[in-house]
Chain A
Amino acid sequence: MAIDPNLKILVVDDMSTMRKIIKNMLKQVGFTNIDEADDGATAWPKLEEALSSGEPYQFIISDWNMPQMTGIDLLGKIKANDKLKTVPFLMVTAEAEQGNVVIAVKAGVSNFIVKPFSAQVLKEKIDKIFNT
């Protein structure tokens, strides 16, 4: 099933270059409605604000390692919120230890992607998340 290109996406990463790379890839595979946050701590108010404005984010792509609120903490907060808990969450990491993958799965992550990745791999992950 085709995914709405206007899907509202939030990209969370503390490195501005990474946010640009991911946004670039998302545009390459057809998505147009992309917003960004530089940490879990700045992502959270954006998520709440979007929810109260009636235009909630429909997909979150987040780095794991961030200084103030990590990706796993952000995921935990999202899953604890009744209105946000169903929003798909793709975790991005430069390195993944098996224990961390299991922790993320238990926390409710939708999928996992390891840097470096291509636009094609990102698309495959998104397709898998939205078509299963």
Chain B
Amino acid sequence: MNILNDPSMKEIVQDFCIESNGLLHEMETILSEFEDNLTQTKNLERFGQIIDRMMGAAKSLNLNTLATLCELGKTIGYKASQVTDENLLNVVCGILFDNIEIIKKMIHGINTQNQDIMKNINLETFVGRLRWLSDKFKNIQRSSVAIDKANMDQQSIDNLLKNLGF
């Protein structure tokens, strides 16, 4: 059964939508501050921390496309916080605003169970654009972001823990 149609999960999904809307508002405020002063890259770090919260919950609720948008937003936010190229940061800011808009629509669609809301959005193209942008930062190392190939799944972690004597 789709989690969105599972009565036992209904309340949690609704709470997730409410909590996410609050976080999206917070992220918009952060991005607006950043847009006004592109030297304040610590705002992108804050953005990354907030979208990371949504990502974990989205993954746990099997909202996979939403989780991907959050994951890429987190990667871009964290990694862009370490660069100083204002032209690139302008692009980052614009794409992260677009990401927030799309996530907002997605959350609205989940909350109202209206699948049609995403019909006019070419998600594949947008995800491609996010990936293109995150590739710009591929030489920046930062743990706990999805782009790092060293991230492990549960099985790999269990194997590592076993090797470490667990």
Contact indicator A98/B152 (Cβ below 8 Å): yes
Name A's interface SS: mixed
* Residue B117, interface by CB 8 Å: no
**How many of chain B's residues have a CB under 8 angstroms from any CB in A?**
30
List residues of chain A with CB under 8 Å of any chain B CB: 13-18, 20-21, 24, 63-65, 67, 93-102, 105, 111-117, 121, 128, 132
- How far, in whole Å, are A127 and B125 apart by their CA atoms in the complex? 44
Query: Which residues of chain B are within 8 angstroms of A20 by Cβ–Cβ distance?
Result: 12, 15
Cα distance A116–B152 in the bound complex, in angstroms: 13
Chain B 76-130 interface residues, beta-carbon cutoff 8 Å to A: none
* B residues whose Cβ falls under 8 Å from a Cβ of A: 12, 15-16, 19, 49, 52-57, 59-62, 143-146, 148, 150-154, 157, 160-161, 164, 166
Please give, as numbers and ranges, the residues of chain A lying within 8 Å of B157 by CB-CB distance. 96, 101, 112, 114
In the assembled complex, the CB of B6 is this many whole angstroms from the nearest CB of chain A, namely 12
> Which one of B49, B60, B143, B166 contacts A115 once the chains associate, using CB atoms below 8 Å?
B60
* Cα separation A67 to B46 with both chains bound (whole Å): 9
Q: Which of B12, B16, B55, B62 is in CB contact (< 8 Å) with A94?
A: B55
